[in-house]
Amino acid sequence: MTDFGARLAEIVGAGHVRAGADVSADYAHDESLGAEPVLPAFVVTPSSAAEVAEVLKAASAAGVPVTARGSGSGLSGAAVPRADGILVSFERMNRVLEIDTENHVAVVQSGVTLQELEERTAEAGLVYPVYPGELSASLGGNVATNAGGMRAVKYGVTRHHVLGLEAVLATGEVLRTGGKFVKASTGYDLTQLIIGSEGTLALVTEAILKLQPRTAHQATILAPFADLDSVVRAVPKVVGSGLGPLILEYIDAMTMGAITYTADLQLGIPDQVRDTAQAYLVVMLENRDTDRLDADVEAAGELLASLGAVDAYVLPGGSARKLIEAREKAFYTAKGAGADDVIDTVLPRAALPAFMARVTAIAQANETFVVGCGHAGDGNVHLAVFQKDPEKRATVLHGLFEAGMALGGAISGEHGIGHAKKKYFLDLEDPAKIELMRRIKSAFDPAGVLNPGVLFD
C-alpha cells in the first residue's frame, strides 16, 4: 500500500481501506449500460462525516480523484470511479438517525436504502413518497441523481422531498444546509444545488427527508388502448381530471409482453383484447377512505373509456403489486433481453405523441429496435435501444436526445448524465449553461477532485 493508502488507513482505520487486488469488481461499475467499468485505486468505507472530511482534505491536497458510491444501482455511470482515484462507499453509513413524527421528517445517513426507509416510515404511519423503482438504492444516490420514479406525477421527485443535507466539500468543510422546514429565503439554496449534481460538488453524508401521512387505500386500473398515440393523448386529460393519480404509466405492448413474461404474471385480460392492444395505461389512485376510492375508480374508468381505452380493468391487489414491480424492473428485463442502452428523456407531457413519432422515425432510419414505457404523467419516457453497432447507436441516441430537446425536453428525467450521457450533454446543451456550471463546479471544488469526468470532460 502506498503512502497515500497509509494516510487513508489512518483516517478510516486499516480495515476500511482496500487497494489493488483487494478491490472487488463490484466497485468498478453501477448498472449503467453505457459506462465502462473502472477499478479504483482505493475503496474507503468511512463511518462518519468527519472521516469523509479528512479523506477529502487528503484527496484535495494530493489531487486524487474521489467518487462517491451508494448502492451502485445508478444508471448514468456517475458511481464509476477513476483508476487513479478513491471510491468512497457509504455502505457503513447506513443508519436511519430519526423518524420525527411531529415534523414528518426522516433524518438518514446517505447509505440508507429505500427499502429500510420504507419499513421504518411504515411503522410510524408515514411514507417517503418518492418511489424510484430500485428499493436497494441508497438515499445518497437518490440525492445525487435527483431520483424520480412512478409516483412523481403526484408527489414530485427527490428534489421536492429533501429539506436539508449534511454535505462535505472537497476542501473538507462539513456543511449543514436547510432543515426540518419546507421553506426558506435565507441565501442561496445549497440543498437544491447539490441535489442532482452526481457527486461533482460535494459528498452527501446525511439527508433530512420530508415524509407524508401514509394513505391507507390504493387501487390500480389497467387500460389497454388500440394504439400508442391514444394512450399518450389521454395522459393530460387524466392529470387534468382532478383525480390526482398516484401513478400514471404507459407501457407499450412489446414491453408489457416482456415484463409480464419475465414476472410470470397473468393480468386476466382476454386474449382478443391483448392481441390488439398496442399500449397500456396504468393508473393508480389512493385515498384514506375506501368509499371515496371506489368512487374515484369508477370515475377514472369512465374517463378512460371516453378517452379511447378498449376497456379498464381494476387489478386485484396481488396482480397490481406484481405489475408495478414488473414495471419497476423493466430496465432489467430490457437488459436481459439484450438492450444496448436505456435512456430516460423528459418532455412536456403533451409533447409525448410528437416525440413518439420521432422515436419511430429515428429507429426506422437507423435499423434500430426501440421499445419502451414511461412515467407518462410527467413526460419521462424510458426507451430501450437495441443496436449493437456503437456508431449507429450513438447516432440514434444523439437523434433521440436532440428530438426531445427540440420539443422542450431534457436529456434525462431521473437517471442523470454521469459518464454515459456526457458526450450528448456537452454537445447538445447551451454552451453558456455548460460554462456557468463549470464555474459553479470550481466554486465548490477548486482542486477538481470530485468525480472528474462526470458531467464535464
* Residue among 253 and 342 whose Cβ is closer to a second copy: 342
* Residue among 340 and 344 whose Cβ is closer to a second copy: 344
Question: Considering only residues 38, 219, 228, 455, which one is a binding residue for a second copy as defined by CB under 8 A?
Answer: 455
CA-wise closest residue to 106 among 133, 131, 124: 124
Least distance to a second copy, CB of residue 421, Å: 8
From 2-10, 16-24, 91-99, 404-412, give the range in contact with a second copy by CB under 8 A: 404-412
Q: φ and ψ at 32, to 5 degrees?
A: -60, 140
Least distance to a second copy, CB of residue 350, Å: 4
- With vertex at residue 306, the alpha carbon angle to CA 302 and CA 312, rounded to the nearest 5 degrees, is 50
- Residue with C-alpha cell 481501506? 17
* Residue among 41 and 202 whose Cβ is closer to a second copy: 202
What is d(CA 33, CA 338) in angstroms, rounded to the nearest whole number? 10
Question: Considering only residues 24, 276, 290, 442, which one is a binding residue for a second copy as defined by CB under 8 A?
Answer: 442
* Residue among 92 and 214 whose Cβ is closer to a second copy: 214
What is d(CA 15, CA 353) in angstroms, rounded to the nearest whole number? 55
Q: Put the strands of the sheet holding 105-109 in their side by side order.
A: 96-100, 105-109, 203-210, 162-168, 174-178
What is d(CA 256, CA 302) in angstroms, rounded to the nearest whole number? 23
What is d(CA 104, CA 411) in angstroms, rounded to the nearest whole number? 33
Site for a second copy contains 388 (CB under 8 A): no
* Residue among 11 and 455 whose Cβ is closer to a second copy: 455
Which letter does DSSP use for residue 214 in this model? Answer: P
End-to-end Cα separation, the chain, in angstroms: 30
Which letter does DSSP use for residue 309 in this model? Answer: B
Ranges within 172-211 binding a second copy (CB under 8 A): 173, 175-190, 192-193, 195-198, 201
Q: φ and ψ at 48, to 5 degrees?
A: -160, 160
Question: Considering only residues 45, 146, 205, 368, which one is a binding residue for a second copy as defined by CB under 8 A?
Answer: 146
Q: φ and ψ at 362, to 5 degrees?
A: -65, -40
What is d(CA 146, CA 197) in angstroms, rounded to the nearest whole number? 8
Least distance to a second copy, CB of residue 388, Å: 27
Ranges within 263-322 binding a second copy (CB under 8 A): 288, 292
Question: Considering only residues 226, 263, 350, 354, which one is a binding residue for a second copy as defined by CB under 8 A?
Answer: 350
Non-local (6+) Cβ contacts of 194 within 8 A are 143, 165, 167, 177, 201, 202, 204
* Residue among 309 and 347 whose Cβ is closer to a second copy: 347
From 45-53, 64-72, 320-328, 436-444, give the range in contact with a second copy by CB under 8 A: 436-444
What is d(CA 51, CA 49) in angstroms, rounded to the nearest whole number? 5
Site for a second copy contains 436 (CB under 8 A): yes
* Residue among 191 and 319 whose Cβ is closer to a second copy: 191
* Residue among 71 and 94 whose Cβ is closer to a second copy: 71
Ranges within 32-51 binding a second copy (CB under 8 A): none
- 425 exposure class (CB count in 10 Å sphere: 0-12, 13-18, 19+): buried
Ranges within 61-90 binding a second copy (CB under 8 A): 76
Which letter does DSSP use for residue 217 in this model? Answer: E
Question: Considering only residues 148, 224, 374, 452, which one is a binding residue for a second copy as defined by CB under 8 A?
Answer: 148
Ranges within 218-257 binding a second copy (CB under 8 A): 236, 239-242
- 23 exposure class (CB count in 10 Å sphere: 0-12, 13-18, 19+): middle
Least distance to a second copy, CB of residue 294, Å: 13
What is d(CA 441, CA 232) in angstroms, rounded to the nearest whole number? 38
Return the C-alpha cell found at 143. Answer: 440525492
- 213 exposure class (CB count in 10 Å sphere: 0-12, 13-18, 19+): exposed
* Residue among 133 and 409 whose Cβ is closer to a second copy: 409
Site for a second copy contains 348 (CB under 8 A): yes
What is d(CA 11, CA 352) in angstroms, rounded to the nearest whole number? 51
From 65-73, 274-282, 317-325, 410-418, give the range in contact with a second copy by CB under 8 A: 410-418
Number of residues that bind a second copy (CB under 8 A): 82
From 14-22, 274-282, 331-339, 343-351, give the range in contact with a second copy by CB under 8 A: 343-351
From 86-94, 271-279, 340-348, 363-371, give the range in contact with a second copy by CB under 8 A: 340-348
Ranges within 101-140 binding a second copy (CB under 8 A): 101-105
Least distance to a second copy, CB of residue 173, Å: 4
What is d(CA 377, CA 91) in angstroms, rounded to the nearest whole number? 34
Site for a second copy contains 415 (CB under 8 A): yes
* Residue among 5 and 70 whose Cβ is closer to a second copy: 70
